[in-house]
Each structure stands twice: as C-alpha cells, then as structure tokens.
Amino acid sequence: MSTIDERVEPAAGLMTAATRGARSRQPSAPWMAFLWRLLLSDYFVLYLTIIFFVVASFFFPTLSAPGNISNQLSNIWPLLAVAVGQTFVLILGGIDLSVTSIMAVTSVGGALLMTQVLDGPTFDKSPLWGTLINENGGLLSGNPQAVLIAVAFMLLLGTLIGLWNGFAITRFKMAPFMVTLVSMIVFSALALWLTASRNVSGLPADFVLLGKGDIVSVFLGPKLNPDIARRDVLPFITYPFAIAVTLAVVAHYILGRTVFGRHMYSIGTNRRASEISGVPSQRVIMLVYAFSGFCAAVSAILYSARLEIGRPSLGDGLLMDIIGAAVIGGTSLFGGKGTIKGTFFGVAFFILLLNILNAMRLSPFVIDAVKGVVILTAALLDITRTRLANREQRA
C-alpha cells in the first residue's frame, strides 16, 4: 500500500508542476497558445506544408491546378521510397551517401537486362556489347517473365550493395561516411561504364506500367467525345503511390512496433550501452544498410519506369533532397531520432518547395542555394523544438 502511495504522489506533483510551468510560459493570447501547440506537434511539418501550399497558391495559381497536383504527387513517391531507407540509416546515427549510385546502377542494370532493342552505334562502346547485350536488346529480351526477373534482379542488386556497405562498416569498423562515399563513386562509375554513358530505352510496356499505371484517375473538363484521350485523365492514385506507401507503412511498423525498431533507436542513441544490454548491433546495422539499398532499388524502379529508360545519371543531385527530406521531417543526423511519418511530411514539403521555386522561374543554382538554407533552418528548428519539448517534460 505504502509503496503505491509513494509512487503516485511524486508523479502527481510532477504533473501539476508541468501544467503550472506550461501555463506560466504560455502567452495569454489564444492565437499564441495555438502557435505554441503547433510548434510542438508531431504534425508540425505537415501543417507547415499545408499553410505553405495555401499561401503560395495565392501567388502562383498554377500550384493548385489539378494537373500540377497530380504531377507533384507523382514526384513524391519515388523520393519517399529512397528517403525511407535513408531515415533508417540516419536513426542508427549513420549515413548512406551511396543511395543515388545504387539507384543509377540498379536502373541501368535492370534496363540492360530487359530492354527489347538497342542502338548499335551508341552501345557498342559498352563492355557488355556482344555478350550480354546486342541489337536485339538485353539477355531477357523477348522473355515473357522479363519484367519480373529484372525487377527481382534490381531489388537484389540494391540490397546486396547495401549489405556490402553494412558489412564494411561493422566488420572492418570503417566510418559509414567513408564506406558509402566510396560505394557512391564506384557504383556511379560502374553505371556510366556499363552503358557508355547512354540512357537505355526500349523497356517493356509492363515495366513502364509500374511507374505510370493508375488506380484512381479523374477526368476534369467537358466531355466532348465518347472516348477520353489518355493524356486528359489525371492520375491521383497510382502504382508508384501503392508501392511507395506500402513500403513506408511496413517501415513505419518495423520502426515503431518491433524489437528490431527499438534496437535501431537504442543503437542510434548509445551503441555501447545497447551492446552491453545484448542488442545485436552488428546484425542490426548490416540489415539497415541492406534495407537502405533495397529502398534505393525500389526508388530506381519507380523513376526508371516513369522515365521509360535506364539512366546512368539517375540519382544525380538527388542526395541533398533525400537527406534534406528526412532532416526536415525531424530525423537527427546524430542518430536515435526520426520517424517515417516525419520523413513523409518532409518529402511532401520538399517537393512543394521545389514546385514553388520552379514556379518562380528561379535559376537552378538559386534553387539549390534555397534548398540548402531550408535544410539548415529545418535542422535548427528541430533542435529548438526538441529543447522546448524537453523543458516541458522536465518542468
């Protein structure tokens, strides 16, 4: 009996202190109190994105045009897929710089396998010409299972590269930055070498469907003909949507609900303490890098299918967007912190930002500079939010 009393009392005392502290700090004006709550909310970035969208639509009406929304949504899904894997790595306190090169090499690898036709004069400089590829396309050209096998190959390749990163980091005790930087350079070069720097076209129609197939589409406008032309239909729920969201939901559950997820957070917070407490850190780290490679491959499939090519420069310039989206979503580069939900909001925010900057017709260099400033601001804001939330907890 007495033990229960003793436990309840300080807890109750703490609660009143907390509410008192919060009340004294919170400004009396209700709109300020509202802003305060907004700032500390898990959904802060989502609210910010919505506000941003509404305000910007006022200045750039094209932003809220259905065609633009449909287009921007389709930009979100491939980026989300690769950002999910990066979020996992960042939670461990690591970093995966190689994701863009994994995307490039899986993109061209898959494409070279399943392409139906190749242009001789351009591809005869590829080291694979005459053995694995020729005028009739790749090894799987004409094979009825070509798409299935090629997709499986791409996923496997991405996972294996990620596994190699994880292996080098855990077994050789090398810095993640170093290992993944080398992977980035090596696999990017490999992608360029295999294709002689050319895009690989002639992909099977079934594959292209993965990037463009729609589930729910809307036709807006007057119905003049009985047949609606394909390009007039605006897809909102698409195959890429289904694929990326499934991946994100699975990742969300792994992170939040499983032993593996708890272990990831604990390694990212304090690896030494985790190991003493029996967390199999090497295994977790290896699997997480493998997962990051897998996610990059998924992203490569979505991008390649949408572009209808295997592209050796696929991930170029994307790294800042990927890490930026995760950081905007509240993932800490110090490890131990981050959610898939946050990364999703971060991706949406980032795509919106790019959309607005493009609508402003700024030069790509200015756009890059603005992106950098936004990422820095987001990181700073997150530190402030964490400090405020801690104070709330401590009061």
- What is the Cα–Cα distance from 183 to 334, expressed in whole angstroms? 22
Nearer to another protein, 185 or 259 (CB): 259
Q: Which residues face 217 on adjacent strands?
A: 235
Binding-residue pattern over the window 194 to 233 for another protein, x denoting contact by CB under 8 A: ----------------------------------------
Q: Indicate the length of the chain as a whole number.
A: 395
| Minimal distance, residue 93 CB to another protein, in Å | 12
In the complex, what is the shortest distance from the CB of residue 391 to another protein, in angstroms, rounded to a whole number? 10
| Residue number, 35 or 259, with CB nearest to another protein | 259
Nearest Cα to 100, choosing from 291, 324, 300? 300
CB of 251 to another protein, least distance (A): 14
State which residue, 221 or 278, has the beta carbon closest to another protein: 278
Do residues 294 and 106 make contact, with C-beta atoms less than 8 angstroms apart?
no
Beta carbon nearer to another protein, 32 or 273:
273
Q: How far is the CB of 265 from another protein (least distance, A)?
A: 6
Q: Closest distance between another protein and the C-beta of residue 48, in Å? A: 24
> What would the two tokens of residue 325 be?
């989206």
Q: Give the Cα separation of 341 and 249 in Å (integer).
A: 9
Sketch the per residue contact string, 2 through 41, with another protein: x for CB under 8 A, - otherwise. Answer: -xx-xx--xx--xx--x-----------------------
Q: How far is the CB of 250 from another protein (least distance, A)?
A: 12
Looking only at residues 274 through 293 of this chain, which bind another protein when binding is defined by CB under 8 A? 274-280
User: Least distance to another protein from the beta carbon of 312, Å?
Assistant: 38
Please identify, using beta-carbon distances, which residue of 184 and 327 lies nearer to another protein: 327
Q: Which of residues 312-371 bind another protein (CB under 8 A)?
A: 336-337
Instruction: List the interface residues with another protein, window 55-94 (CB under 8 A).
Output: none
Q: Minimal distance in Å, beta carbon 242 to another protein?
A: 22
Of the pair 8, 32, the CB lying nearest another protein is at 8
Minimum distance, C-beta of residue 5 to another protein, in the bound complex (Å): 11
Q: Which of residues 226-285 bind another protein (CB under 8 A)?
A: 253, 257-260, 262-263, 265-266, 269-270, 272-280
How many residues of this chain interact with another protein, rule: CB under 8 A?
Answer: 34
- Please give the C-alpha separations between residue 369 and each of 13, 67, 313, 359, in angstroms, as whole numbers: 49, 27, 21, 16
Cα angle 192, 196, 201 (rounded to 5 degrees) comes to: 90
Spatial neighbors of 285 by CB under 8 A, at least 6 apart, are: 92, 94, 166, 169, 170, 267
Whose tokens are 């970035």? That residue is 45
Closer to another protein at the Cβ: 7 or 37? 7
Query: 77: closest CA among 357, 343, 361?
Result: 343
- CB 327, CB 379: distance < 8 Å: yes
User: How big is the chain by its Cα radius of gyration, in Å?
Assistant: 24
CA 381, CA 347: separation in Å to the nearest integer?
Answer: 17
Q: Phi/psi class of residue 310: alpha, beta or left (left: φ > 0; alpha: ψ in -120 to 50)?
A: beta
Of the two residues 124 and 275, which places its CB atom closer to another protein in the complex?
A: 275
d(CA 374, CA 328): 8
| Token representation of residue 264 | 């990831």
Contact at 8 Å (CB) between 112 and 310? yes
Tell me whether residue 62 or residue 258 sits nearer to another protein (CB atom).
258
Find the shortest distance in angstroms from Cβ 271 to another protein.
10
**307-336 residues labelled b (16+ CB within 10 A) or e (exposed):** bbbbbbbbbeebbebbbbbbbbbbbbeebb
Categorise residue 372: left if φ over 0, alpha if ψ from -120 to 50, beta otherwise.
Answer: alpha
- 194 or 279: CB nearest another protein: 279
Positions in the binding site for another protein (CB under 8 A): 3-4, 6-7, 10-11, 14-15, 18, 253, 257-260, 262-263, 265-266, 269-270, 272-280, 336-337, 390, 393-394
